Amino acid sequence: MINTFALGLTSHCQVNCPSCSWGINKIPMNKREYYSWEYLENISKYVYGIDKVYIIGGEPTMHPNFAEWSPKFRELFGCKELYVWTNGYGNFLFPEVFTNYDWVIMTKYTGKTFKGAPNNSEEMDFLFKYYEGKTSRITSHVINENGDLCILEGDGIPKISMGEIEHRRPLEIQKTGNCGRDWKGSNMVAYLDGKIFPCCGALYLPESIGIEPTENWREEIIKLPIPCDKCLFAQ
């Protein structure tokens, strides 16, 4: 059953990941979008009451209305859980805004992530320390031995997690199995540029097919092919 909806709030991003699952690095700057509130209202009519909503991008915190809209997303979509996936662009700008989310998922970059990658360690560390100071009791604080995965949980704060972006093998030696980022593996679909896609990992591929929202989108979306055989994220 589809119970998770990944919403692309913008196609702007300040990082140029070569393996961007949304293909942001291939969109010319003059073609990138900051989606409007009316755009969100339109899709909310078709997914209202869904269990989980992920606010993603591009980089969602680059949207000029991100801070204003964050307190409204839960009511707009009628979701039980609200997530945001970020590279930390807004961590210094408005750290308090993340209290509107159940889970803040951050992607860490270092010089080893890919050639020319920025290092956003300061942004990551800042948000962890900010919310450590906002909770009366830390219930979990896990850091793996490499320091590339960290999770913080505490009373009265959102769950904060940070993971370093994965390194991808060349496509010619890539496997072709499902990676679990679609409606089959994680009950998730994605919405970008006015279309719903059956997978949120293969949107960068020309072979990725989406549909415009209708009352029957749940039945229609599972009929679409998912191009795992051409995807960098295949398992």
Does 77 reside within a domain?
yes
Q: What is the pLDDT of residue 26?
A: 80
Q: What is the pLDDT of residue 170?
A: 47
Does 202 reside within a domain?
yes
pLDDT band at 222 (very low <50, low <70, confident <90, very high): very high
Q: Is the pLDDT of residue 172 over 80?
A: no
Q: Is the pLDDT of residue 33 over 70?
A: yes
Instruction: Find residue 103's DSSP bridge partners.
Output: 83, 159
What is the sign, positive or negative, of the torsion defined by CA atoms of 167, 171, 177, 181? positive
Does 123 reside within a domain?
yes
Give the CATH number of the domain where residue 124 resides: 3.20.20
| DSSP string covering 3-35 | -EEEEE-BS--S---TT-TT-GGGS-GGG--B-
Tell me the Ramachandran region of residue 156: left when phi exceeds 0, alpha when psi lies from -120 to 50, beta otherwise.
Answer: left
Spatial CA neighbour of 55 closest among 94, 13, 101, 9: 9
pTM (2 decimals)?
Answer: 0.91
Strand 188-192 versus strand 4-8 pairing type: parallel
Mean pLDDT calculated for residue range 208-216: 94
Give the tens place of pLDDT for each residue, 125-136.
999 999 999 999
3-state secondary structure of 47: helix
Gap between the Cα atoms of 72 and 173, Å rounded: 44
Domain range for 39: 4-230
Does 235 reside within a domain?
no
Q: Is the pLDDT of residue 174 over 70?
A: no
Spatial CA neighbour of 130 closest among 81, 71, 72, 90: 90
Q: What is the pLDDT of residue 176?
A: 59
Gap between the Cα atoms of 93 and 15, Å rounded: 17
Q: Is the pLDDT of residue 167 over 70?
A: no
pLDDT band at 169 (very low <50, low <70, confident <90, very high): very low
Domain count, the chain: 1
Give the tens place of pLDDT for each residue, 37-68.
999 999 999 999 999 999 998 999 999 999 99
Does 179 reside within a domain?
yes
Mean pLDDT calculated for residue range 14-24: 83
Q: Is the pLDDT of residue 149 over 60?
A: yes
Does 60 reside within a domain?
yes
Gap between the Cα atoms of 197 and 5, Å rounded: 10
Residues 6+ apart with CB under 8 A from 225: 207, 209
Q: What is the pLDDT of residue 150?
A: 92
Does 15 reside within a domain?
yes
Ranking 14-28, 122-136, 152-166, 170-184 by mean pLDDT, the lowest is 170-184
User: Which residue is associated with the tokens 């969100």?
Assistant: 40
pLDDT band at 175 (very low <50, low <70, confident <90, very high): low
Mean pLDDT calculated for residue range 105-121: 87
Q: Is the pLDDT of residue 173 over 60?
A: no
Does 28 reside within a domain?
yes
Give the number of other CB atoms < 10 A from CB of residue 119: 13
Tokens of 208: 């990725």
